[in-house]
Amino acid sequence: MFDKFRECPQCGRPFEKISASGKAGFCAYHEKWFPYDASAQSEANELNQKYKDEIKELEQRKRAAEKSKKRKARTLKATAVLLVGMAAAAAILWFRILPEQEYNDAVKLLRQGVYGEALERFSGINYRNSEENVMLCEAFLALADNNINVAIEKIDQIGQSEDEAYEKLKESVILAVADWKAHEITPEGLLLLLPKVKTLDKDNLLDTETLSIEAHVHMLNEDALDWYVKDMDEDGEAELVVLQPEQIVTVYRMNLETNEKVVINENAMADCLVQFGDRILGKDADEALVLYQAAYKAASTVDCAKKLGNIYQKRASEEEAEKDYEAALTDAKYAYDLIGEDEAFQFLYDMEIRKCYAEADKADGLQEWAAFADVYSKAIERHGLSEDYKLKTAEIHLEYAKDLASHKDPYCVEEFKEAYNYGADIYGILEDTAEVLDLCKTRIDLRKLAVEISETDIEKQGVQKQKLKEELIKSLQEWERLKIDPQDVFVLIEYAKEIGIEDGDTEGVYHSAALKVASEETMLSDYEFIDWNQDGREELLAVTEEGVLEIYAFEAEFKQVWNTETDLQRPAIELVSHDFLLEAEASCSFASYSYGDGKIQKLIGMEGLTNYKRDGKKITFGKPLNGSIERNTCYEYSLDALSVPPTVVEIDWQEDQYPYPETPEETIQRFFEAKGYGIEEEAGLLQAEALYGKLGFGFDVPEDMPEAPYEVESSAYYTEAGIVLEEVRYQSEGKECKIYAAVIYDSGWKIVGFSDAFAPGMDERESNTEMPLLSLNAAVTDKLQDSEDKHIYRMLLPEASRVQMFWKAGEKQGKRTAFYVSLYDAEDLSEALTAYELKLSPARQMATPLFLKAGVYYIQVEAKSYEDCEYELTMEAQAEQYVEQEENNNPESANAIEVNQEYRASLFQKNDVDCFVFRLDAPGAVDVVLQADDIDSKKSRYEVKLFNLINGRLLSQNQMLGNVKTASMGKVYLSEGQYMVQVSPGKEWSSWDYGLTVEYQKAEAIEQESNDTPDTATQISLNTAVSGSFGIEGDVDCYSLTLDQDMVIQPKLAFAPLESSSKTYVLTVLGETDSLFTINIGGKESGKVIAPIALKAGTYTIKLENPQFIHQDYSLTVAAMQIDAAEAEPNDTLARATELAMGQTLTGVLSTQEDIDWYRVSFSEDTMVTLSFQFEQTASSKTAFALQLEQNGKSQWSVNVKGESGGLRQKLQIPAGEYYLRVKAGNRIGAVYTVGLENIAE
């Protein structure tokens, strides 16, 4: 509405007065109330209506007085005309006697308090001081109507007077002010009267200061629970301190007519809350506690802590008296945490002891005491209660032990120990307790404890030792009769060892107890006792009837500690040193194991044996081997060395008359069988020493071997002068495996190597492997069964090659087409690469050769006119690498090529066009180079163009002249994607071969032309250098930067420095509509430090211009720091202030000395907040930033923040309203800062 709410928005004159709410002002010039904003419009309307009513009433009274005056004048005038001739006596009667009578009557009415009638009488005469009496009557009437402004105005007009009526007026004003509430004077009216009362009350009958405070208190709109006055800001004037609901303290500056809220910090808030707590403590301790809590939350002072702690202790005592121990201890802990002194801890300590003793369940009491000691162990020592703590702990443990013993609970032993450890005398109690218990482990444990604690009394200890030994021996001997748990038997055996009872006396007891435990779980087939972990104690080795091998051992209790399945039925155990044999002779199966160091390891397991025979310490058996030839094995196994695997006595693989394989396929099958059965001599016969490494074959046997009996399926796919490449397939561990083998003929077929692919980098998994393979360079003979029949062959081409088809069929020459033969690329079956129409011919027919890349192809043979005859098909291949593959005349049929590799090609006719496509997986610099033998011509023989394959845009072009051997296009910066090189004839066609190379150098961040406008800007990443260049004059490079969140960015431009320092580059940061930042960079200022800028999330453009056009490369980096939220630049005026919400933290930067950041903050109610302002700390003691909080152009709070502080956190009590926070730079230009508000209540 208007900026300064102390001035009229229409004329700019200062307001004469402000309403009680502070939201409306009165302009005397316009005689009108103006609202602060739309929310106060109704208040201004009411004030304007009230003002009009007062003026109207005053005017009515004046008109009545004037009318009466005129009536009298008319009467006098008529009388004068009629009595013009009367005598002087009549004139005296009229002009003196009658007015005197009227005046006296009016004075009488005035003194009687009949002000309205007296006003009318005085208004009708013009005699003596009637005019003053009129104003006097009006003053009385205005005072009676609570129209304070009119009353004061009339009093001021009358001035000082000794008149009795005036004295009565003074007395009436003083009496009305003294009892202003009974006279229904408003607080605002009282404040208006008080200055006037000071001049009227010469005898100082009234305490105007107290009356002023009362008026200000009653002006509060909020509920005031309590209040007092104090000079809070030490300016010599007292402020009104008010306590409101929810422990809210508000401080008001008591102006002449209004209350103005004052901002206070956390310390002042705490002091106020403490004072209010002190004032109410004697009446309501709970409410005082709440106030002290709020004060302590605002500022944790020592005085506040003590007051709060004392109240907690008082309440804790009351709660304990009511048996509410949980609440009492909670308050006692609060008190100690606040006060921290000896008396406070003693109070808590004693209360905790009383609670533990009061627990009905002794275990709960003990647990409660242990938990307390665990938490307050250091406090117990610090406050000198260590000895008392031990005494109390011993008493609690002893009581618990007695309770357990009365219920025959074995845990009583541990509690007796704990009581003893804390100093309790338990010897007699132990003796009494043991005597009443039956003979059992608990009784033995009590005897042992009695022996331990009587070390200093030899006689007592001797008695206890003797009782211990006698009772222990009896317990072991009669454990089954006494129904002692077998698990306790093992513990008693350990006790027996400790007191010197020999193992021989307890061995039988140990075995019987062990078997008792094991038999309760399963049916045993056999067992032995062994020391499997060399600890000097035997463990039970058992095997069940189902063949489960188990170990039972004593580890705190006797239990199964290990088991495994053996797959043997009802086996027997035979120990052999530290090994043992499980033998199921009926099923011709056995297994052997070793044990030691707490582990059992299976050595050998054999099942389904033939010729099984046991001869003392030796087992012999046999096993036949499956395979393509007959092989047999015989084994021998010694029980004296179970860890040694069965020895192969002999393997008969026909070594003396070995049947050599006749084909490569038989050789591969035989080799895998020999390797699988471990017959290395046989495998050696089937392999050659020389390796075939041409296509990546090496003699590494595959890791995934075929499953027994090692069957494989082999098919040839390449044949060349005694060399055959085979595809080999087999199953291994449930999965289909395929490898490739190279086989040569060297006095028989032999393997020279294996490979995972039929050629380096070739993967045939997607092809149809069910189709028969056609071996290259080898004829295949086949026959079509009828006219509908057709054959499809799979062809594996291991290298880019010159491929030519040869064909013959029938016994005589035919005249018409008999067969169709089509060649398909497995990667694209939609159209044949080429198709041939073949006739019957006994002579060999030859097709036109093709250049084909390495890969998988399909050859389809079908009948055109059926002839019942065989055909012979041969595909000859001659390796050729990196060649073009016709047809490649357009983008759709272009050859895919690799970068940095020369490809040979030719334009075989004048209208021929060669197209090559390449893909960049990453951005980089590309140069297209053409090489060819020179010819005697200066005309262009090749036109070379570079296109973007996606949009068809021409990126660059070049010509190659006839007399030039090498032509380079020059570097072009490209992003990842697909591109096409087109080579076409120039002005002079040449059919000669040429070499084409796309030279490429990877670059992760580059510009992407054309990027002259924000719409075509190159997308870049933060903290990553991007390379670019200005290739032509007038070039502009734009880069698009997307921020997913608010950030602080800082651009950096690097280039080769120039000799000139004049403006070479202009860098501009653009938002969606505004230019946010611009800087000029000279030719010598490479790497110039550019001030950072805080930006909101969004898309921005960095524009680079080169006004002088210097042809050179550059590097642009945009450094970034993630932040939660940024200021909204520009915000250097109040109108463009950034909104700062409660709970939000914003990041800002002052980029220049003149830069100012404004933030707008609003509060719907009075709020206690923490203002946080942080930046990177420096060693400087100078002012880094100046902060100021303003409202209506008036500073409410300000501070200078030094660099060495790194910032501040200030608590402030802020009244409801709208404020502006100004951040101004000191000596920290370009520094990043954060500013935020936190609601302390939240």
> What one-character-per-residue DSSP string does 801-855 give?
EEEEEEEEESSS--SSEEEEEEEEETTB-SS-SEEEEEE-EEEEEEPPPEEE-SE
Whole-number Å distance between alpha carbons of 219 and 375: 53
Q: Would the pLDDT of 818 be above 50?
A: yes
Give the pLDDT band (50/70/90) at residue 1046: very high
303: phi then psi, degrees, rounded to nearest 5: -60, -45
Q: Would the pLDDT of 381 be above 50?
A: yes
Alpha carbon of 1191 to those of 4, 250, 310, 978, 1162: distances in Å?
A: 9, 17, 42, 62, 11
What is the predicted pLDDT for the residue at 844? 86
Q: Would the pLDDT of 1170 be above 80?
A: yes
Written as one string, the DSSP assignment of 4-23 is: -TTB-TTT-PBPSEE-TTSS
Q: Would the pLDDT of 1082 be above 90?
A: no
Q: Would the pLDDT of 282 be above 60?
A: yes
Q: Which amino acid is at 71?
A: R
Q: Give the residues across from 740 on adjacent strands.
A: 727, 755
- Which of the pair, 522 or 1111, is modelled with greater confidence? 522
Q: What is the pLDDT of residues 417-463, one digit of tens each?
A: 999 999 999 988 888 888 888 888 888 899 999 899 988 888 888 88
Contacts of 960 (CB under 8 A, 6+ apart): 930, 932, 940, 941, 942, 944, 967, 986
What is the predicted pLDDT for the residue at 221? 67
What mean pLDDT comes out for the span 628-646?
Answer: 89
Give the pLDDT band (50/70/90) at residue 1038: very high
Nearest to 1185 by CA among 1156, 1145, 1143: 1156
Please tell me the least confidently modeled range out of 640-654, 901-915, 1163-1177.
901-915
What is the predicted pLDDT for the residue at 962? 73
Report the relative pairing of strands 895-896 and 855-863 from DSSP bridges. unpaired
Q: What is the pLDDT of residues 896-909, one digit of tens each?
A: 999 999 988 777 66
Nearest to 966 by CA among 930, 942, 926, 996: 930
Determine contact, residues 200/143, Cβ cutoff 8 Å: no
- Which of the pair, 84 or 134, is modelled with greater confidence? 134
**165 in helix, strand or coil?**
helix
Please tell me the least confidently modeled range out of 9-18, 22-31, 914-923, 1093-1102.
9-18
Rounded mean pLDDT of the chain?
84
Report the relative pairing of strands 914-920 and 895-896 from DSSP bridges. parallel
What mean pLDDT comes out for the span 1123-1143?
Answer: 90
Contacts of 347 (CB under 8 A, 6+ apart): 313, 316, 332, 335, 336
What mean pLDDT comes out for the span 851-859?
Answer: 85
What is the predicted pLDDT for the residue at 94? 44
- What structural domains and CATH numbers belong to the chain? 86-218 (1.25.40), 226-379 (1.25.40.10), 653-755 (3.10.450), 1005-1122 (2.60.120.380), 1134-1239 (2.60.120.380)
769: phi then psi, degrees, rounded to nearest 5: -75, -5
Cα 1115 off chain centre by = 33
Whole-number Å distance between alpha carbons of 489 and 469: 15
Q: What is the pLDDT of residues 664-711, one digit of tens each?
A: 999 999 999 998 888 989 998 998 876 555 666 777 788 888 988 889
**1120 in helix, strand or coil?**
strand
Q: Which helix (H) or strand (E) holds 155?
A: helix 148-158
Give the pLDDT band (50/70/90) at residue 70: low
Whole-number Å distance between alpha carbons of 355 and 350: 9
- Which of the pair, 1113 or 1222, is modelled with greater confidence? 1222
- Which of the pair, 58 or 434, is modelled with greater confidence? 434
What is the predicted pLDDT for the residue at 1079? 86
Q: What percentage of residues in the chain have a pLDDT greater than 70?
A: 93
What is the predicted pLDDT for the residue at 327? 92
Length of the chain: 1242
Contacts of 914 (CB under 8 A, 6+ apart): 884, 888, 889, 895, 905, 907, 982, 983, 984, 996
Q: What is the pLDDT of residues 1106-1119, one digit of tens each?
A: 888 776 778 899 99
Question: Residue 223 carries which DSSP code?
Answer: -
Nearest to 188 by CA among 417, 422, 17, 420: 17
What is the predicted pLDDT for the residue at 908? 60
Q: Would the pLDDT of 1060 be above 70?
A: yes
What mean pLDDT comes out for the span 53-75?
Answer: 68
Query: Token match 């890349």: residue?
Result: 853
Q: Would the pLDDT of 757 be above 90?
A: no
Sheet holding 557-565, edge to edge: 524-530, 539-544, 548-555, 557-565
Q: Would the pLDDT of 866 be above 90?
A: no
Q: Would the pLDDT of 80 be above 50?
A: no
Whole-number Å distance between alpha carbons of 449 and 445: 6
Q: Would the pLDDT of 987 be above 50?
A: yes
Determine contact, residues 879/822, Cβ cutoff 8 Å: no
What is the predicted pLDDT for the residue at 1042? 93
Whole-number Å distance between alpha carbons of 599 and 589: 23
Question: Of 598-612, 701-715, 1036-1050, which one has max mean pLDDT?
Answer: 1036-1050
Question: What tokens were used for 516?
Answer: 């008792």
Q: Would the pLDDT of 79 be above 50?
A: no
Q: Would the pLDDT of 968 be above 70?
A: yes
Contacts of 381 (CB under 8 A, 6+ apart): none
Q: Which H, E and C letters describe 473-525, residue by residue?
A: HHHHHCCCCCCCCHHHHHHHHHHHHHCCCCHHHHHHHHHHHHHHHHHCCCCEE
Whole-number Å distance between alpha carbons of 362 and 396: 8
What is the predicted pLDDT for the residue at 784? 86
Please tell me the least confidently modeled range out of 126-130, 886-890, 1164-1168.
126-130
Nearest to 741 by CA among 701, 786, 684: 701
What is the predicted pLDDT for the residue at 211? 87
Give the pLDDT band (50/70/90) at residue 302: confident
- Which of the pair, 13 or 949, is modelled with greater confidence? 949
